[in-house]
Chain A
Amino acid sequence: MKKTTAALTIASLLGSTVAAVAEQCTNETWNKIQERGTIVVGVKADTKPWGFRGENGDLIGMEADMAKEVADTLGVELELVGVQSSNRMQFLEGGRIDLMIATMSDRTDRREIVGVVGPNYYSSGTNIMAPKALGIDEWSDLEGKPVCGKQGAFYNQIIEDRYGAQIVAFTGNAEAKQALRDRKCIAWVYDDSVIAADLASGNFDDFEMPLTSEDDNPWGLAVPIAERNCVFGRFMSGMQYNWHQSGDLIALEEKWGIQATAYLQRENERFKDWLAE
């Protein structure tokens, strides 16, 4: 009797250990990708030049190119799904997409929902576009003034709290910039790299980006949270490490006409192969 109990206890203990390990790494998504021979990647459809639509409706951009490289490395087909800031994490959680590369700032609360793996592939700061005529040169100049922004950007709240600006949030950047031209607000707050691209386009010659960027925030791509420390997560870490080391991200930045960021340059040097000369 005693023996049986002991055996049962050991068996159940073993069983639970196996179950625990199995629970840690089922590699469900990873295996699913292999099985169907296609990886479904969520990218933005409304954020040029990272993820946007070509004239035939295909999703293109820097992050779409990164997704393509992931698919090629895996040797599977690529399927892109357009996601929005409001649903990108839900899509990943619900299994609609396998991988998310969608201009997401890497924040603590987000890491509890999706499996963000390092090293971060990009980083951007917050800045404003304002008419040159206003001569804004400090963030504190925004106090009590209406400032246009895009709905869902995490820094809208920060700018309001820190500098007392009154954020007027629009659904799209075109609407926000139209409002800026119509003088409904004194500035448009957004990612510094996007503002730089707009200024370089020659369509905003009377405007400037007068402040030092704030809240430099790394971006994170994400796998389903259960697979953060499993094959898929480790694989994506390796992809990002390689992108940084090879300088691929810098090349992509140039390809899509994004102003070179110091962050990518820094990471490229940090991960440099010390034997290669």
Chain B
Amino acid sequence: MTTHSNQNRFAVLKPIDTTRRMSYDPMTLSRSLGSLPVWTPFAALAVAAIWPQIVYAQTATGVDPIGALWRWAPFLITKGFLFNILISFLCLLLGTLGGLAIGLGQISHVKPLRWLCWGITQLFRNSPWLVLLFIVMLALPFELTIFGNTFFFPAWIKAVIGLSLPIIANISEIVRGAVASVPTTQWEAAESLAMTRRQAMWRIILPQCFKRMIPPWMNWYAILTMATPLVSILGVEEVVNLTRQAIEAEDNLPELLAPFYGFVLILFFIYCYPIARLTLRLERRFAVKL
């Protein structure tokens, strides 16, 4: 009896299973999103649309969230959501080009360059996105004078620049990691063929990296797309801002909040879900076999 209670007092912490569920890595988003059944967000929208009507059943005044949503959907998609997609594409373009350059800089043999690129990567990778957005927004001028011509510098272009900073940093890490993951024998083999470091990098190493960079790259694209509504805070007229304006035009009825924002959720899901599934498939296919 006594022994038993003593055993209880000195309970042993069992080893935590880090291989499943608990573990977190940059691919967690695609993995969790990709494993959702397709109907999840639609169920969420249904609840979002029906719930307010149940709650306000007593004070029903002819509020029709679904009807309102139906009328506004074309505008929200064409003028709002497609604009988010455009922003995400431009960010990805900037982020990929910048990330490739900075990532290769991180493995350069020139020390100052390596340190600089490492510093940039760490700085942007570990800063809140919204803070980066605010800084870019305030640091860049409102208008730009090139060769005596003054151009208006729209807020959304600044937002693209601001959002691509963390993408640059993360893709830089992907590039660095991918190059490091190529077995050193490849370098040695290239060297034995009298290739310079640059030749070995471009002709032997990078082509092998390309495949293994695709899944994390797509994963970051999905993260980026879902982050685009952040720019609504800066006054860019993207889907969340236009949704707010649509709710305003429908007399600001609180009953509309859940259905309208639920609709935006569905849009993002429909777009990001296939990307997540594809990412998982490619990840499995390109997995390094040991």
The answer to whether A178 and B150 touch across the interface, beta carbons within 8 angstroms, is no
**C-alpha spacing A128/B61, complex, angstroms:** 22
Decide yes or no: A172 and B251 within 8 Å by CB, A45-B237, A57-B79, A95-B143 being known contacts: no
Among candidates A45, A55, A90, A203, residue contacting B71 with C-beta atoms closer than 8 Å: A55
Task: List chain B residues, Cβ under 8 A from A198.
Answer: 251-252
Contact with B along A78-114 (1 / 0, CB 8 A): 0000101011001001111000000000000000000
Task: List chain A residues, Cβ under 8 A from B257.
Answer: 174-175, 178
Answer whether residue A272 sits at the interface, using C-beta atoms and an 8 A cutoff: no
The answer to whether B237 and A86 touch across the interface, beta carbons within 8 angstroms, is no
Answer whether residue A201 sits at the interface, using C-beta atoms and an 8 A cutoff: yes
Task: List chain B residues, Cβ under 8 A from A172.
Answer: 244, 247-248, 252
Min CB–CB distance B138 → chain A (angstroms): 12
Answer whether residue B253 sits at the interface, using C-beta atoms and an 8 A cutoff: yes
Q: Which residue of A lies closest to B244 (CB)?
A: A172
**C-alpha spacing A82/B245, complex, angstroms:** 10
Q: Which residue of B lies closest to A178 (CB)?
A: B254
Answer whether residue A56 sits at the interface, using C-beta atoms and an 8 A cutoff: yes
The answer to whether A94 and B152 touch across the interface, beta carbons within 8 angstroms, is yes
Contact with B along A177-210 (1 / 0, CB 8 A): 1100100000000000000001001110110000
Answer whether residue A229 sits at the interface, using C-beta atoms and an 8 A cutoff: no
Answer whether residue B131 sits at the interface, using C-beta atoms and an 8 A cutoff: no
The answer to whether B75 and A56 touch across the interface, beta carbons within 8 angstroms, is yes
Q: Which residue of A lies closest to B253 (CB)?
A: A203
**C-alpha spacing A88/B235, complex, angstroms:** 11
Task: List chain A residues, Cβ under 8 A from B247.
Answer: 172, 174
Min CB–CB distance A128 → chain B (angstroms): 16
Interface-centre pick from A55, A84, A96, A206 (highest chain B CB count, 10 A) = A55
Interface-centre pick from B142, B235, B242, B249 (highest chain A CB count, 10 A) = B249
The answer to whether A53 and B246 touch across the interface, beta carbons within 8 angstroms, is yes
**C-alpha spacing A205/B63, complex, angstroms:** 14
The answer to whether A55 and B63 touch across the interface, beta carbons within 8 angstroms, is no
Answer whether residue A46 sits at the interface, using C-beta atoms and an 8 A cutoff: yes
Contact with A along B105-122 (1 / 0, CB 8 A): 000000000000000000
Answer whether residue A4 sits at the interface, using C-beta atoms and an 8 A cutoff: no
* Chain B contact residue count (CB 8 A cutoff): 27
Answer whether residue A47 sits at the interface, using C-beta atoms and an 8 A cutoff: yes
CB-CB contacts below 8 Å: B99-146 with A: 142-143
Answer whether residue B72 sits at the interface, using C-beta atoms and an 8 A cutoff: yes
Answer whether residue A259 sits at the interface, using C-beta atoms and an 8 A cutoff: no
The answer to whether B63 and A95 touch across the interface, beta carbons within 8 angstroms, is no
The answer to whether A48 and B248 touch across the interface, beta carbons within 8 angstroms, is yes
The answer to whether A90 and B63 touch across the interface, beta carbons within 8 angstroms, is no
The answer to whether B254 and A46 touch across the interface, beta carbons within 8 angstroms, is no
Task: List chain A residues, Cβ under 8 A from B142.
Answer: 90, 93-94
Task: List chain A residues, Cβ under 8 A from B244.
Answer: 46, 171-172, 174
Answer whether residue A15 sits at the interface, using C-beta atoms and an 8 A cutoff: no
Q: Which residue of A lies closest to B56 (CB)?
A: A181
Task: List chain B residues, Cβ under 8 A from A171.
Answer: 244
Q: Which residues in B have some Cβ–Cβ distance to A below 8 Å?
A: 59, 61, 63, 71-72, 75, 79, 142-143, 150, 152, 155, 235, 237, 242, 244-249, 251-254, 256-257
8 extra interface residue pairs, beta carbon distance < 8 Å, beyond A94-B152, A206-B59: A46-B245, A53-B242, A55-B249, A86-B235, A172-B244, A173-B248, A174-B257, A198-B251
Instruction: Provide 25 A-B residue pairs closer than 8 Å at the C-beta atoms, listed in order of the A residue.
Output: A45-B237, A46-B248, A48-B248, A48-B252, A52-B245, A52-B248, A52-B249, A53-B242, A54-B249, A56-B75, A87-B235, A94-B143, A96-B152, A171-B244, A172-B247, A172-B252, A173-B252, A174-B256, A174-B257, A177-B252, A178-B254, A201-B251, A202-B61, A205-B59, A206-B59
Q: Which residues in A have some Cβ–Cβ distance to B below 8 Å?
A: 45-48, 52-57, 82, 84, 86-87, 90, 93-96, 171-175, 177-178, 181, 198, 201-203, 205-206
Closest 6 pairs between A and B when the two form their complex, measured CB to CB: A178-B254, A174-B252, A57-B75, A52-B249, A173-B252, A174-B247
